[in-house]
Amino acid sequence: MIYRELPREEFEDLASRILYEDNHLLVVNKRVGEIVQGDKTSDEPLTEAYKAFIAQRDAKPGQVFMGLPHRLDRPVSGIVVLAKTSKALERLNAMFRDSDVQKYYWALVCGAPSPVEGHLEDMMWRNEKQNKSYICRPGQRRKDAKLAKLNYRLIDKTERYWLVEVELLTGRHHQIRCQLSNLGCPIKGDLKYGAPRSNPDGGISLHARRITFVHPVKKEPMTIEAPIPSSWKGIKA
């Protein structure tokens, strides 16, 4: 397998965003606008970029294994866990499926949450054509609706926005975006779910901030945190 040669600037950028690495795992800080796996666009996914990076850094002549046990949407930034071995991928797939991974997100929102912390449970359904999720209205029953659960708490505020930490308990399509919007707190830049204006970078101010899990091979407890984007003005973290 021949991977493309990365220019020095791109190589150094990818290296700078590695949050953790060993023989089994690679944990990186995704930027807004990057895709984590191939889609209908011709853009290179993060998995392929890091395959090329490892091949170049380690002078690997053969194929580089890079498995993806979970995903982040294109407009979202933050922690992405990649598997460097098939054993790690198989175990991580099971851990994410069985909710054995604790995931915490930070969101800059356009309204003050009330109450300032709480637990949300909603039945949500996805409109495939619109690529958008909806919460069932009171009394509405749909066979395709699924239970969505999260915890949230207000942790900071700026002059115009509120910083909310979300502990994601289920993994539904656009779950955080939809449930926070329903609370009256659309995420900054998220036009699809009610934000008044877009962000300059085309993304939304939702960041996979922290992840806690047991290493799939070493069986050691791990907590990994990703620095927030530099565009988040007024937030100290």
Choose among 95, 69, 78, 68: nearest CA to 214. Answer: 95
* Residues in Cβ contact with 28 at an 8 Å cutoff, skipping those fewer than 6 apart: 14, 17, 18, 19, 46, 50, 79, 80, 82
> Quick check: 120 and 179 in contact, CB under 8 A?
yes
Q: Which residues pair with 20 in a beta bridge?
A: 27
CA distance 63 to 30: 23
> Quick check: 24 and 87 in contact, CB under 8 A?
yes
Among 22, 39, 43, 73, which one carries the catalytic annotation? 73
100 has catalytic annotation:
no
CA 15 to chain centre: 19
- Cis amide linkage into residue 186, ω under 30° from 0: no
Distance (Å) of CA 38 to CA 31, 74, 89, 194, 227: 16, 11, 18, 28, 25
> Quick check: 29 and 90 in contact, CB under 8 A?
no
Give the helix/strand (H/E) hosting 224.
strand 221-225
> Quick check: 147 and 133 in contact, CB under 8 A?
no
Residues designated as active site? 73
